[in-house]
Homo-oligomer: A and B are copies of this chain.
Amino acid sequence: MAKVPKKILNDPRNVVTEMLDGLALANDGRVERLDGKDILIRTDLPDSKVTLLIGGGSGHEPIFHGFVGQNMGDAAACGQVFAAPSPDTIMDAAMAAHRGKGILFLYGNYAGDNMNFDIAAELLEEEEGIDVRTVRVNDDVAAAPPERADDRRGIAGDIYAIKVAGGAAEECDTLDEVERIARKAVGNLRSMGVAVAAGSIPETGKLTFELADDEIEIGMGAHGEAGIAKQKIASADDVADQIMEKILDDMPLGKGDEIALMINNLGATTMMEMLIVNRRVRQILADRGTIVHRTDVGTFLTVQEMAGFSITVMKLDDELKHYLDLPARSVGLSNM
């Protein structure tokens, strides 16, 4: 069994608050922590815009709190490690970020997040009269069959959803329009991951799951939720084939279809491995005549020092391409 890795921390009980301080500072003045709360918010918010509020548990950095910025989230409501933000935190973030045109809540589909964001949405509508819409990212094809797609977890597809919705919230005039575009992005997202080794919980040092020395788990969730199958460790090409088969069964892609492709490091995997996987994924897509418009290989949604990676595909049309390609600046993702 794997050993618990060493971490360089201060008091483990303070990891979230110290991390949020460090994250706010890493934004070079463009984002600040709101009144010492577990909320990050843009300092350069325009006076009038549709608001994009994102959020989720900590411990998955840079998601979610690292994706606040121009053409990205306007604010993030942050939970404790692997725990949803509280309704109060979500309310406070929403009130501070609202600019008169309503708020889109965009987050990963987990029971705790769903419950707390829904409570906050209800209170904001009833008590403050703010129009709130909710789009949940449910891109993990391993989590449930197509007929129960609403039960699927949100994994690294979150990032493309935030990038598209962030651009739309900057440019579009109505919440209806931003919601429509975000919903289209999410509908076109499919992801699946593979776990090679567990990460550990910073407060306790405990591993989130166990895998034998020669085992991997295909389709495992971001917190160690059970995947499709434990199996003996396999080659990069074989693992890529398995993941892509499942994604393409769920969302067929053919000649001339255009996509964005993300290979996301779950924590401790080398970029060399991900690039070798990218090579194979591109062979599979080229065989179908599918065009990769944009590639992101890097570290976007982690589970502490978990080893493994996920593959995300977003099918594009001209509208999604436009918002995806807008320049953006945040700690977790920037592009010109």
Contact = CB atoms under 8 A, between A and B. Distances in A.
A19 to B, nearest CB: 5
Interface in A22-58: 22-23, 25-28, 58
User: How many monomers of this protein are in the complex?
Assistant: 2
Contact of A334 (B6, B19, B61, B336): B336
A8 B236 contact: yes
A269 interface: yes
B334 A276 contact: no
Nearest to A2: B3
B19 A272 contact: yes
A239 B274 CA distance: 30
Contact of A271 (B62, B197, B329): B62
Nearest to A331: B297
Given A28-B294, A298-B299, A331-B297, A196 B8 contact: yes
Interface stretch (A122-130, A132-140, A182-190, A277-285): A277-285
Interface residues of A, number: 73
B6 A282 contact: no
A275 B332 CA distance: 12
Interface in A87-117: none
A333 to B, nearest CB: 9
Label chain A's interface by main secondary structure: mixed
Interface stretch (A144-152, A301-309, A310-318): A301-309
B276 A19 contact: yes
A129 B15 CA distance: 58
Nearest to A260: B28
Contacts of A307: 5-6, 268, 305
Contacts of A298: 62, 299, 331
Taking each of A22, A216, A233, A297, which has the highest tally of chain B beta carbons within 10 Å of its own beta carbon? A22
Given A25-B279, A28-B293, A279-B21, A6 B270 contact: no
A298 to B, nearest CB: 7
A278 B216 CA distance: 33
Contact of A305 (B23, B269, B294): B269
Given A8-B239, A22-B276, A22-B279, A295 B194 contact: no
A5 B197 contact: yes
A252 interface: no
Given A295-B28, A297-B331, A10 B237 contact: yes
A83 interface: no
10 contacts: A8-B234, A8-B235, A10-B235, A10-B236, A21-B279, A25-B282, A267-B270, A268-B307, A270-B304, A328-B336
Given A8-B239, A9-B236, A25-B292, 6 more contacts: A5-B268, A8-B233, A18-B236, A22-B282, A22-B297, A328-B336
